[in-house]
Every structure is written in C-alpha cells, then in structure tokens.
Amino acid sequence: MASRGHSGIASSGGSHATSTSSTHRSTMLQLITRERRASETKRSVLQSLSRKGLSVQVRNGPTLGPSLLGQSVLPFPTEWRNYSLMKTTSRSSSAPRRSKHTTRLFNTTSLSETSTKGDSNASCLTQCGSKESMLPLSSPTALRRDQPPAADQIRVAHGSTAEEKHPSVGALMRPAGVKVPGALTDMSARHAGSQGTAKKPVMVARNEHYGLNTKYLRHNVWDEDSIALPFSTSRWTETARPLASIPLAELNNFVASKTVHDHPHLFKIVTPIDVDKFESLLRNHPNPEFVESVCKGLREGFWPWADTLREGYPTTHNASYPSPPDEQKAAFLRAQRNVEIAKGRFSEAFGNNLLPGMYASPIHAVPKSDSTDLRMVTDHSAGDFSLNSMIHHELVTGYPLDNMKYVGAMLLKLRQSLPENSELVMWKADIAEAYCLMPMHPHWQLKQTNIVDGTCYVDRNLAFGSSASAAIFIAFNSLVSWIAMNVRGVERLATYIDDSSGCNLAGDVLFYKPYGRYFPRDQTVLLNLWDSIGIPHKERKQVFGAPLTVIGISVDPNAMTLTLPSEARLRLLKELAAWSTEPRKSENGQKSSKNSKKPVHFKLKRWQQMSGWTNYAFNVYPLLKACLNNFYPKMAGKSKAEQCIYTNTAVRADFHWARAHIEASDGVRVLNSRSWGESDADCTFYYDVSLEGLGFWDTNHNLGFYAPSTAFPSAPNDIIFQYKALCVLSALEHIHQTSVDRRRVIIHTDSSNTFDIFNSLRCQPAYNHILKSAIDILIDGSHDLRVLHVPGIENSVADALSHFDFARAESLSPGLKIQPLQPPRLMLGHTKK
C-alpha cells in the first residue's frame, strides 16, 4: 500500500527538488534507433522472456564473438544512455555517464577510514510528508552474512541461511524468507571419513556452523572472546549486482512511448538528491557498476523489475474506486493531492480519462497506526492486473537489513573495548518521505495514475505499495551508509530501510546547527552527510537515549537488554487472541452439524502481516518460532492479496500456545547469548531409535535408558522419524526432572532431519506437537539446547540400547547402569517443576 501523509518541518541541505519535462524527438530518428536495437539484441536476454511473464535463466559471462552491444551486467540488456524521450535531471546533477564495461563482480575490500568533515548547514526547510512508523512486516532478524562473499557470490540478507548466489541474469537475488519444507522422512548421514582432502564432512561443518549456533536464534549468539560484526548493509554494496534498467521491449512499446512523448509535462524526474555530490562521495567505492546503476536511476528514473507486456494484460486499465462517501475522507484525499502537486510528485490534472497505456489503482484514506489522523494509500496489489503482479518478485526480495543481530554485536563489541562502567547512549536517525525521494522511470509513471474526484494525476515517484520499493530504496540508502562509514568516519552504524541507528559514549556529542542542539557524535555526522546530498529529515524523528526503541525493540545499551515495548506487546497479544479464537457458532446454535460453526478466515495480506508480527517478536521470544509450522503451509501457493484463507484448529492452537508463553514472560531478553561448545555442556546425551524401541545414553552419569516401541503413540507414517523426535523430548524431560534449571544440554543424533528440526524449530505440521512440548520444557527450565549430528558408527551405545542389546552397550561403556524409560505423555504436556 502506498502511503502519503502530512508531516512537519523537515531539514535537507541545498534547494528544493527540481524536475524537467520530456523533450521532443523526431519520428525518423526514433524508427532508425529502434531498428538498430532490434538487430543488436536479437540474441539478448529479452528473447528468453515469454509473453506469459515468466523468465528463464540465461548463461552469464562474456558473449562469444563480436557484439554491437557491450556485455550487460543488468537483468535486462539496455544501453547506458539517457532515455531517448527525456532530458533527465535532478538537483545540481549533470548528464548521465556512460557505463564502464564489466562482466564480473568485485571482491569485497577492506573499509577505509578518513577524517570526519565539519558540520554543513541544512539550509532548506520544506514541508514534507513522512512515512509513519509501523511494526516491521518482515522478520528483522533475517540477516545471514557472517562472512564476506566471494567475488562470484552474493549473500542474501533474508531467509533462514546465508545463500550463495552465482552470477546469473535470471537470479539477481533469491527471494527472502524462502520456506524450506520440513523433513518428511528420516535419513542418517554416513560419516565421510578421510578422503585425502582438507574439507570437513558436511555434517561436521554444519555442527560447527549451525549446531552450536542454532538457526532459530538467528545467529544471535556471539563468541565471548572475539565478537565480530556481521556482514553489514554497507559492505553488501561492494558485491551487489547493479539495479535493473528499463528493458528495450518496454522502450519500444509504441503506445507507452507515444503517450510519454506527446505529454512531456506529465512525466518528470523529481528528486531532492544531489546526484553529482552523491556520486562524487562514492568515487572510491569498489563496486562502480552498482553505484552507477543507482545514480542512473536517480537521474533517469528507476525501473521496478517489471514486465508490463504480460500476456492477457490490457494496454490501458482503470482499477480506481469512486470517491469515498465519507466527506471527511474525501476532503482529506483532495488536500493530500494538493500537497503532492505542490511538491511536484503528482502531475497537474490532465482530464477525466486515462491516456493510452496508463493504469490507475485504488486510493484510500485510512487512519494512521498511532493516531486518528488520516493518510493516503494506493493499493498496488488490487485486482487481476495489479502493478505488483507485473513485477518479478524473485528479483526484488532478499535485499539486506542490519537487524538485531548486527545491533547486538555492535553493542557487545563496543562494550568489550570499554571500561566496565562506561555509560552508553543509543541514537536513531530517520529519513523523511523515504520512498518518495526515488523517481520512477516515465514508462512506470505511466502506470501510477491516481484518480481523485474523477480527475487523473500521474504519480512520479516510488510508491510504498510497490513490491519493488524496498529493494530500490535499500540500494540507495546502503550506499549512503557506505559513505557514512568509509568517507565520513562513522564507526558504528546499523541501517534498516530508512532508519539508521548507532551507539556512542554518553557525552560524546557534536552540535548540529540546523536544529540548534547537540546530538551524539555519529548521529551528527550522519545528519550533516544527509544535508550535503539533499536527504530530508525531521527533528522529532532524530532521537537518542538509553533505552531507545530500535526496529521496534527497546534496546538498553547499559543493561544490555532487548525488550518488547509494552504497547507493542499488548498489540501482539491482541492479534494473537484474534487468530486463536474459536469460530463462532451458526445462528441456529446446532452442534451436531458438521458446519455448525462459522469458519475464521483472513485475507492473504493479513496472513502476511501476521507473519511479520510474529517474526518481529522472535527477537525477544526466539523459541516461539514453532507457532508458524502450521501457519505457513496454509499460505503456500497463495498469491492474491485479497484471497481469503481459513484458519484451522492447528493454527489456532499454535497461536494460543504462543500467546500463553508471551503473557507469562516479562518480555526481556538479556544480551548474554554467548557461544559455547561441547566442553561447556552440563548434560550430554546420545540417542538412537530402531523398530524395536528407543534408547539414550546419559554420558555424564553413565546411565542408559530404553523403551519399547509399543510404549509410544501409534505413528503409521514415518514411524522411525517420530520416534527419534520423541526420543529427544524424552531426554529433555529426564533432564528437566532430575537436574536444576539453566542447564546447557547437548543431544547427539545420527538423524540429519532431527538435527534440522531442533536447530531451526521448523518441521512438518504432523510433528509440531512434539516440538512445542520440547520448547515448553526449555522455557520452563530456562535450559539451553544444542542438537548435534554424530555419525552412526560413533553412536554405538545408544544403538545397542535401542535394540535392547544391553550386553553390547555395557561392553562399550563399562559400568553403564540401564533402566526402563516411560515416554512423555504428549496429551498431558510435560510435568512442570
């Protein structure tokens, strides 16, 4: 949803944003140029795009033989030149520069440090709208970049793991948060043994990388002796692929080109960014192709990785709604339209009918999240021919965010370098109207027509409702962060879309002249940088203190805690209650009928928002991730935002379970999750399962336990796998009942699937009740569990116990005491202390 709202005074360096109109071009020259392009690109990537809107990967790298076009490193082959129908400018910017030819990515280089420049005045005060602060709709803990990528790889910021990306035109970025299916059947991994290579066996490497630093903690564990900052947003720019330019097929679209050509006053490039200054600060950046693609977008307008020529899509389409019957809302839309026109982001009115090639989306006036004030929103996902459905979503997801892992590591590293009682202060800087600062290409502006009171206006800038908005803005702001850290000398900086945060010693301040007050040193340096390149900001959004809310989490740099703010906690509990409520009975109140209750359902966009809310809470409640194991399968295969999806008993039960744990928790997480190894464990177990039964071995006390398979609930499918999950639960139950709280527990398994489940807290719905029971024990006893993989040949004692071969077990572990085990009764839950 695209959002625009009124706001207060904003500060930005330089003059107001400027814009220029399209210029005329002769028809003959246009035809000649098109013919040349067609000849030059007959074997280009565009030929691999079907009219069904699907793309296929093509071979990457230098082409064989001569070519009229230089090899493109973009997902669409385009010439590096001005858009033919536009004279593209922005404030104080010069003509676009021609790209330097390259067919490779650059290696990550070490960050350079230079002295901080003096304060620069923010001389321009303008009335600016601002994006309202909202809870993140996606997981703020999805960063997976512990190591810099190689020259031929790219690390995806989101998702469960750090994904290695090979250079491929069809795979600019892998989608964030791709759901990896849970294990269906059980597998045992055979020990690789020595093969004359220095590489470790896969499962040994996974033990070290994931087993001792579990996935569900989002790598929010730190080495106590050597805390290293994760791979940051700014460093990502050093290996990032260039952004997309408009495809030649779009430029050669006669209808769209003619409309833009015939109405140059409607289509302008509007941005306050001083592109020349921005580019000059990046002259030493190690990835000039990425830098140039962002600067090209600022000068000529960004392209959102879209295919507007999809088969079956109309050339012109009006999906707008009539003016709202509520006069207050209608008046607000008119007033906001006037604000956008005054800022140059909306064109002047051009009539009551769309021009050829235009699309219009619904606009609404809705209350802001934290007040009764209204804001204008544009729905880019509405209808069968929505703008978002034109965008290649696999190319706009996975862009990096400096999450709580980065913030936590930043604090711990700073603490490690200071005297014990040093007082710290957090700070946060916010960019005003973030997405609206990014101009869109005229051919995309054509699709962003808004209709107010029956009159049409072109929206010229990036809209919040576009699924490409985050990718485009992150690309820009990550370069700003790179400048701050490598040119202006900011030592600690975390960037999360339009929010930047850091930490300084209390009292280490600089005076910021435009606001007439002191701010923490790094915050002041960043504000001065923003002013120098024209980034607007508002005083009330530039905050500092201890504690301070960062990415929706209250961070106390002195107590070293992460806390879910009380208001956010109450809102989350309310949402969980709505999802866990049983459906209402039908009007007749009959209970015998199969359909005697009205089902509970929510639209897909509400499901997606709920996913974001719960992932957001996992920063403080990481063990509750299991509440989504029935939730995500219900969303699988759904793509229409307005589609209704019914909840079921399992989904409601999972959210009820999560809600109960949140209500019982104080919502405080201490930043003391230090890495620990096998030698630090308080309890170590080995277990195995056979068709006869299960067995596990307590190595600390040399105790063996066994139970026949008949003692477990029936499991007709994947019986071995269920027994192995139950065996882990049995071991935890034993520890919980015989040991004190806060135990560090290691359980060894030869099952790779069991290893995956307890390290990710992700499983198939059929096994989620076992996983939730295990989590209940961990929470109740404040235990810390690590499940590690062991080759079957090294699991002999547990193997003997599971086959009731007690003589072999005793011979393998002399003095072993063996006793029967009563498996946990899942329906009753574990016994609390």
243, with CB counted inside 10 A (0-12, 13-18, 19+), is: buried
Nearest to 800 by CA among 714, 694, 699, 723: 694
At 142, which amino acid appears?
A: A
CA distance 128 to 554: 28
Residue 562 is predicted with a pLDDT of 86
- Look up tokens 């973030």; give the residue: 434
Nearest to 690 by CA among 569, 795, 584, 578: 795
DSSP string, 467-522: TTHHHHHHHHHHHHHHHHHHTS--S--EEETTEEEEEEETT-EEEEGGGTEEEEHH
Residue 74 is predicted with a pLDDT of 35
Residue 172 is predicted with a pLDDT of 33
CA distance 286 to 493: 20
Residue 524 is predicted with a pLDDT of 98
Residue 532 is predicted with a pLDDT of 98
CA distance 768 to 756: 13
- Look up tokens 């296929």; give the residue: 56
Residue 302 is predicted with a pLDDT of 98
752, with CB counted inside 10 A (0-12, 13-18, 19+), is: middle
Omega prior to 547 cis, within 30 of 0: yes
Residue 60 is predicted with a pLDDT of 38
Cα four-point dihedral sign 173, 179, 182, 184: negative
CA distance 779 to 665: 10
Nearest to 477 by CA among 459, 454, 500, 460: 500
The pTM assigned to this predicted structure is 0.69
Residue pair 149/155 in contact by the 8 Å Cβ criterion: yes
Q: What values do phi and psi take at 192, rounded to 5?
A: -70, -30
CA distance 551 to 35: 51
57: enclosing H helix or E strand: none
Q: Which domains does the chain have, with CATH numbers?
A: 1-50+75-179+218-546 (no CATH), 564-585+597-670 (3.30.70.270), 678-828 (3.30.420.10)
Please, which residues have CB within 8 angstroms of residue 18's CB and are 6 or more apart in sequence?
Answer: 89, 90, 91, 270
Angle at 263 (CA atoms; ends 260, 266), nearest 5 degrees: 90
Residue 670 is predicted with a pLDDT of 72
Residue pair 811/698 in contact by the 8 Å Cβ criterion: no
Paired sense of beta strands 9-12 and 449-452, if any:
unpaired
Query: Which segments in the chain show pLDDT lower than 70?
Result: 1-230, 369-371, 585-599, 672-675, 712-719, 825-833
